[in-house]
Amino acid sequence: QVQLMESGGGSVQAGGSLRLSCAASGDTGRSYCMGWFRQAPGKAREGVARIESNGNTNYADPVKGRFTISKDNAKNNLYLQMSNLKPEDTAIYYCAADGSWGGACYTDVLTFPLRGQGTQVTVSS
């Protein structure tokens, strides 16, 4: 199993940027599809982005063109660069991983079995 820990959340004004990080530890010898999802107060969880082990990426429509998902295989880290942030981006952001498919992303990030504890992102207008 792999353990995930997020960092990098905080408060920022609308239009600003933040970079979230997710450190993976444990069974990092396998290939994983990794991703981010978020949950705003009183709202359902929402997938944000996924990245396959070969680097292919997928984004939810609300964040396309503003967020970039990337990973550092050498450090077993996952990142989410968030730019032009909006108040509606305010949420707890979670890192998630799924090693069921050899690094391919076949399922929604919300169903990934491995998750971190989350990091709060607050965007003020």
- Residue located via tokens 């108040």: 87
First to last CA, the chain: 40
Q: How many helices (H) and strands (E) does the chain have?
A: 0, 11
CA distance 34 to 108: 11
pLDDT at 76: 79
CB 96 within 8 A of CB 112: yes
Which pLDDT does position 5 carry in this prediction? 97
User: Whose structure tokens read 């010898």?
Assistant: 29
The DSSP call for residue 30 is: S
pLDDT along the chain (125 residues), means of 10: 94 98 88 95 97 95 98 88 98 95 92 96 97
Q: What pLDDT score does 112 carry? A: 95
